[in-house]
Structure 1
Amino acid sequence: MALDLLLIGLGIALDPIPVTAFILLLSADRGVRKGLVFILAWLACLVVVLALVVFATGGTPPPPKSAPSTAALAGKLVIGAGMVVYGEHKRRSLRRPRTRPRKPPAWAARLNEVSYWTAAGLAVLLQPWGLVAAGCATVVDADMSEATTVLTLFGFCLLATASLLSMELYATFAPQAAQDRLGRLRAWMEDHQDQAIVAISLLIGLWLVGNSIYQLTS
């Protein structure tokens, strides 16, 4: 479980769409405060979703080969397969010549005027829900009676938020330097967004598929 959550947490933290949106939010009026609201909503969403899974299982992992255990593995397999298909589709689309320059999404231009409530809503909306769902399917095996499991789940939430926390702290304590460097990071990510999505989708998708098949057949 720990290795799966490590990879999934890294995928969530490095997803270019929420990272780019967060950088734009930091550059808005009262951006640091709105960024903090974004992070708190992001974390709260992760914690609530994981808590619901733990509540459903009673904090006790289902027996191997039981219906709940098999269903969780099948769910991870489906999610992983979907990520592989999406990543491969995206990879093939990169080969096609682009006839028009990439335009930023319409919502990106409005981030300067968003309210705190909208910033919180964006945190929920922009979470990579495919990866979050894979994390939930993994947490089905969590044994909450063990302290290491609690620490693993805490580490997963922290890792999935690490990129946002790093940028928030940077913008808080070094605002001038952060504005310049995060602006360059945003430009780089916009130019390489598709490649990052392909890499994350294929790597984590293939891991989920292979690991799920192994556990289902062993």
Structure 2
Amino acid sequence: MVLGLILIGLAVTLFPFPLMAFVLVLSARGGIRKGLAFIVAWLACLVAVVAAVLLLTGGEPPQPKSSPSTAALTGKLAVGVGLVATPSTAGAARRVPTGRPAWRTAWSGSRPWSSAGLAVFLQPWGLVAAGAATVVEAALSRLESYLALLAYCLIASSSLLTTEVYALVAPHSARVRLLAPRTWLDGHQDQAIIGLCLVIGLLPASKSLYQLTA
């Protein structure tokens, strides 16, 4: 579980659309406040999903070969297959008819709550679902599970947190230097999405398929 959550957390934090939007949020007037609202909403989504899963499982992983265990593995397999299939539809779905990315249209609001709503809208829900399927294995009777869940939420938000702190400590330098990764992401978002979805999708799909057939 621990390794799976770390890998999924890394995939979430490196997903290109939220990063590109967050850089634009920080570059706007009052960007620090808007960036903080973005991060709070982002973290709230992750924590809410983790809490919902733990509430359903009671904080204990289902017994092997039981009906709940089979259902959890089937769900994880479906999430993995869905992630593997995502790259084939991402290109057509990510843009609005004008050719502008959909998140840039949604970003037009000027208040912090608009940035919070944008964070919810841009959450990579396929990857978050993979994280939720992995959280099913968490046992709250073990300290290791608490640390893994905390690490997952922090890792999944690490790129946003780092960028926010950088913009707060060195605003002028950040405004210039953050343009470079945004430009790179603009030109390589397809490759990044395909790589992240394939890697994170194949891992739970193959593991779940093995456990279901073993």
Specify if TM > 0.5: yes
Counterpart position of 1:24:
24
Question: Is residue 188 of structure 2 the alignment partner of residue 188 of structure 1?
Answer: no
Contact 1:60 1:143 in 2 (8 A): yes
Q: Which runs of 4 or more aligned residues in structure 1 lie more than 4 Å from their structure 2 counterparts after TM superposition? A: none
Contact 1:90 1:198 in 2 (8 A): no
Q: Deviations over 1:27-76 (max 9, x none)?
A: 01100111011101111111111101101111111101111111111111
CA drift at 1:217 = 2.2
Number of residue pairs matched?
209
Q: For residues 43 and 113 of structure 1, what CA distance do their matches in structure 2 show?
A: 21
Q: Aligned ranges for residues 1-218 of structure 1 at < 5 Å?
A: 1-87=1-87, 89=88, 103-105=99-101, 107-108=103-104, 111=107, 113-218=109-214
Q: For residues 73 and 90 of structure 1, what CA distance do their matches in structure 2 show?
A: 25
CA drift at 1:140 = 1.0
Q: For residues 31 and 110 of structure 1, what CA distance do their matches in structure 2 show?
A: 16
Distance 1:175 1:151, change over 3 A: same
TM-score by length of 2: 0.92
Contact 1:28 1:113 in 2 (8 A): no
Unaligned runs of 5+ in 1: 94-101
Q: For residues 74 and 167 of structure 1, what CA distance do their matches in structure 2 show?
A: 37
Q: For residues 106 and 28 of structure 2, what CA distance do their matches in structure 1 show?
A: 9
In the alignment, residue 143 of structure 1 is paired with which amino acid?
A: A
Q: For residues 191 and 26 of structure 1, what CA distance do their matches in structure 2 show?
A: 20
CA drift at 1:122 = 1.1
Counterpart position of 1:99:
none
Contact 1:34 1:116 in 2 (8 A): yes
Structural RMSD (CA): 1.9
Unaligned runs of 5+ in 2: 92-97
Q: For residues 213 and 113 of structure 1, what CA distance do their matches in structure 2 show?
A: 44
TM-score by length of 1: 0.90
CA drift at 1:137 = 1.1
Distance 1:53 1:84, change over 3 A: same
Q: For residues 105 and 155 of structure 2, what CA distance do their matches in structure 1 show?
A: 28
Contact 1:28 1:111 in 2 (8 A): no
| Identity, % of aligned positions | 53
